Every structure is written in structure tokens, then in C-alpha cells.
Structure 1
């Protein structure tokens, strides 16, 4: 069994097509098909069901795929570790972040990192905080930036607190509240809201604050993309509550201080099992070295 064979299997599984897989692997299709067939003979089981219309994994292929990915990742990490031992950073860096991250200028950080370490392949994933924690635990993401209510902390990962922030109200320029310097949760509770999906850590910050104050509110629009907050709020479809450090990035809306606003904590997290050379270099470039502030 060879790593190249595993790479071919993973690529076919990702593309569901032998021709596209061969193109991605930069080989002719006959060579890729031959190597997969050879591997299937060695394993004594078919990995793919092939028809004239599609290709899909067999149960044996479904069982083989996770282990194949782990082997390829281990091999890639071995190469990166050897390169790091002679002073060169290689490999991959998967960075995750929430849409409203504000404690770190991610764009600038990635630009500076790429200029300094051009041989590292950088991937970026945007998602919800709880999903990013799970992806870091599983090793799919190396470093992630997220925000949580003050009542919770990242579990099962190494973490460092970056900043604490309070939420502010965001309204349309012609909204009746737009001229105020401050507003209360009670006054906001009578408004229709634009917010993150229910059950996410970002949504929990506001839900917990209103619940603690004994207030109910209506969330009419649930969005996952940060730019949609400004677009919906700017059209007068609702109001929102967002971190004060992030709100200035929005255009076409007005921000208002909330007297009894909830707070959130921004963290950077990475795997407890150890960091790749690229992840270590990235964190070091951000001034994050040594032990984590919290390792749950």
C-alpha cells in the first residue's frame, strides 16, 4: 500500500469522478484507475461503485477513507517537521474564524504570514464558534478565532483569551433610536431583531442577556454572514446587537451603546495534542507563545 494510492482514493472520493481526480492529481486517468484497482486487489474489497453516470464509495470505501486521510496528514506533518528541524516552515495551515472576529486583524495577519512563509498552504474557514471548537478538536482546523459568552469557555482545546468586549445596538440611520447615545435592553426588546441562528454561541450572548432581564424579543431574521447584518438592518428590517469592536466595520447603519449590554470573550484556540510547525509559527507571529491560558 502506497501513499499515492491513498491520495488517489481520497481525491476520487472528493470529486466523485475519476477524470477530475486524475486532473487534480496531475496523472492520466488510466494510471490513477490502475493504482486504485491494484489497491483494491491488495485489500480484497472494492472501494468504489462505478457506473456510467457516477462514482461512489462502497461500505468498504467509507471505512477506508478516514484512515487514508489520517495517513496522508501524518505523512504531510512528518515532512513539515523535518523541514522545521532545518529551519524551514512548510506544510499546511488551516485557520478558522467567526465572521465578527475583531481582536485580531486576520487579513493582515495572513498576508504577513504568507510573505514570511510562502511554502505554507493556508486555508481559511469561517463558521460558528462551537463548530470551530469541534473542528480544532478533530484536527481539521489548526488555529481558530472565536467568541463566547462570559458564561462559557472553549472545552477540549488549548486556548488563550484575546479580548473582552460589550455588545452595542445597530440600527438603521432613520430608526427612532438612531439619535440616542444609549439604550436599554428593555427598550430594545420591543424591536424586531436580526441575529445569528438559534443555538450558536454568538446568539447565546444576547439570548442569555434578555432572559436574565426577564425580557422576550422577536428574532425575525437569522443570518450567518456578517455583511447581511448591515444590509438587513440598513433597510429597516430589524435591529441587531454586535460586538462594539466589530460594529465600526459596518456601513449604512448607526451604533448605540447598550446600558446593560451582554459581553463576549474572544479566544484563539489550537489542538491540545500539539501544534504543527506552521501553526506554531502563525501563533508566534501574533505574539502568542508559551502555554495556553486555559487548557480544558
Structure 2
């Protein structure tokens, strides 16, 4: 059993197509098919059901795939550890972030990291906090930036608080609300545009309104801050954004809240960070320390 065979299996499983898998692995399809057939003979089981229309994993393939990924990840980590021992950071860095991260200037941090460690392959995904915690637990994301209600701490991962802040209401310039500061009770009759129910980005608002004894309507549930802002611009309702993030949309009016919802941003990582992840954590720690001193 060879690592290359494992890479081919993973590529076919992820693309559900031998041709696309061969293109991803930069080999001719016949060579990829030959290698997978040899592996199946060695294992004594077929890994894929092949038809003229699709390719899918067999039960044996479903059982084999997680172990194949673990082997490839272990091999990549071994190479990265050897390189790090020689003073070179290489490998991969998978970063995750909520759409409204504000405690860190993430684009600048990624730029600085790439300049320092050009041999590292960086990827970025944007998801909700709950999903990112799970992905860090599983090891598919190395480092992530979250926003959670003040009473919540991420579990099953290493973490560090980056800072907290209150939320503000945002409305279109011609929205009928004219006050610059209100309490939550005065917004009880307004339609709201917020993240989906159950998401961490929604929980902080729901808890604050519940504590204030306010029942609100949320007819528009969104998965991104950009869509929330687009709907707010159309006067469809009131949006809720972190106070440090709202200035990115200068065309909207900001309404301060006397009993505002609050959140805390967290940096999380796995229990055994790779050399690439450790280097990113070191960069963030140094930059954050400079901000605190300043």
C-alpha cells in the first residue's frame, strides 16, 4: 500500500469521478485507475462502484476513506515536522472565521503570514462558530476565529479570548427610526434581519431580547453579514452587528443600544497544532501583544 494510492482514492471519493480525480492528481486516468485496482486487489475488496454515469464508494470504501485521510495527514505532518526541525515552515494551514470577525485584521494577518512562510499552502473558510468548533475538533480546520455569547466557552479545543464587544442596530438611511440610541424594548415592533435560529451569531441577540422581556419578529434569516446588510439597505428591517464591525458599512445608520447584546471573540486551535498552525498562532500572539501595549 502506497501513499500515492491513498491520494488517488481520496481524490476519486471527493470528486466522484475518475477523470476529475486524475486531473486533480495530475496523472493520466489510466494510471490512476490501475493504481486503485491494484490497491483493491491487495485489500481484497472493491472500494468504488463504477457505472457509466457515476462513481460512489462501496461500504468497504466508506470504511477505508477515513483511515486513508489519516495516513495522508500523518505523512504531511511528518514532512512538516522534519522541515520545521531544519528551520523551515511548510505544509498546510486551514483557517476558519466567522463573517464578522473584528478583533483581528484577518486579511493583514494572512498576508503577513504568507510573506514569512511562503512554503505553506493557506486556505480560508467562512462558517458559523458552532460549525468551526466542530471542524477544529475533527482536524479539518487548524485555527479558527469565533464569536460567542459572553456566557459560552468553546469546548474540546484550545482557545484564547481576543476581546469582547456590544452589538448595535443598523438601519437604512431612510428607515423610519430616527433616534441615535434606544433600548431593546423600543424595538419590539420592528422586523429584524438576523442569523438563522440556533446559530451562535443569533443566540447573543435572542438572549438579550429575552432578558429584556421583549418578543421580536425575525422574518429574514441569513447566513452572512453581507446578505443582512443588503436586506437592511432595502428597508426590510433592523439588522444587528458587532459595534466594531458595523463601520465597514458607512452607508448604514448605527443605533446604539442601552441594554445591548454582547459577544466575545475567541481564537481556537487543536490540541496538537502543526508547525504551520503554531507559526500562525505565534504571529497572532505577537501582533495582539503589540496592540495591547499600544
Identify whether the pair has TM-score above 0.5, normalized to the shorter chain.
Answer: yes
Give the whole-Å Cα distance in 2 for the aligned partners of 1:22 and 1:226: 38
1:20 aligns to 2:20 (yes or no): yes
Give the whole-Å Cα distance in 1 for the aligned partners of 2:23 and 2:241: 44
Give the whole-Å Cα distance in 1 for the aligned partners of 2:139 and 2:286: 19
1:237 aligns to 2:265 (yes or no): no
Instruction: Please list the CA deviations of residues 131-173 of structure 1 after superposition, one character each: whole Å capped at 9, or x if unmatched.
Output: 1011111111100000000111101111000011001010111
Q: CA deviation at 1:181?
A: 2.1
Corresponding position of 2:199: 200
Q: Closer, same or farther in 2 for the Cα pair 1:203/1:121, shift >3 Å?
A: same
Give the whole-Å Cα distance in 2 for the aligned partners of 1:205 and 1:243: 11
Give the whole-Å Cα distance in 1 for the aligned partners of 2:208 and 2:161: 21
Q: How does 1:1-296 map to 2 (within 5 A)?
A: 1-177=1-177, 179-272=178-271, 274-287=272-285
Check the 8 A contact 1:230/1:252 in 2, yes or no.
no
Q: CA deviation at 1:26?
A: 1.1
Check the 8 A contact 1:170/1:241 in 2, yes or no.
yes
Instruction: Extract structure 1 runs of 4+ deviating beyond 4 A.
Output: none
Q: Which moved more, 1:246-255 or 1:2-11?
A: 246-255
Give the whole-Å Cα distance in 1 for the aligned partners of 2:121 and 2:161: 26
Q: CA deviation at 1:183?
A: 0.8
Q: Closer, same or farther in 2 for the Cα pair 1:202/1:101, shift >3 Å?
A: same
Corresponding position of 2:290: none
Give the whole-Å Cα distance in 2 for the aligned partners of 1:144 and 1:115: 20
Count, aligned residues: 287
Give the whole-Å Cα distance in 1 for the aligned partners of 2:166 and 2:67: 44
Give the whole-Å Cα distance in 2 for the aligned partners of 1:82 and 1:268: 27
Give the whole-Å Cα distance in 2 for the aligned partners of 1:202 and 1:67: 34
Q: CA deviation at 1:231?
A: 0.8
Check the 8 A contact 1:230/1:251 in 2, yes or no.
no
Check the 8 A contact 1:145/1:267 in 2, yes or no.
yes
Give the whole-Å Cα distance in 2 for the aligned partners of 1:189 and 1:60: 55
Give the whole-Å Cα distance in 1 for the aligned partners of 2:265 and 2:39: 46
Q: CA deviation at 1:288?
A: 5.7
Give the whole-Å Cα distance in 2 for the aligned partners of 1:80 and 1:223: 39
Q: CA deviation at 1:176?
A: 2.3
Q: CA deviation at 1:252?
A: 2.6
Give the whole-Å Cα distance in 2 for the aligned partners of 1:164 and 1:198: 22
Instruction: Please list the CA deviations of residues 4-52 of structure 1 after superposition, one character each: whole Å capped at 9, or x if unmatched.
Output: 0000000011111111111111111111111100000000000001111
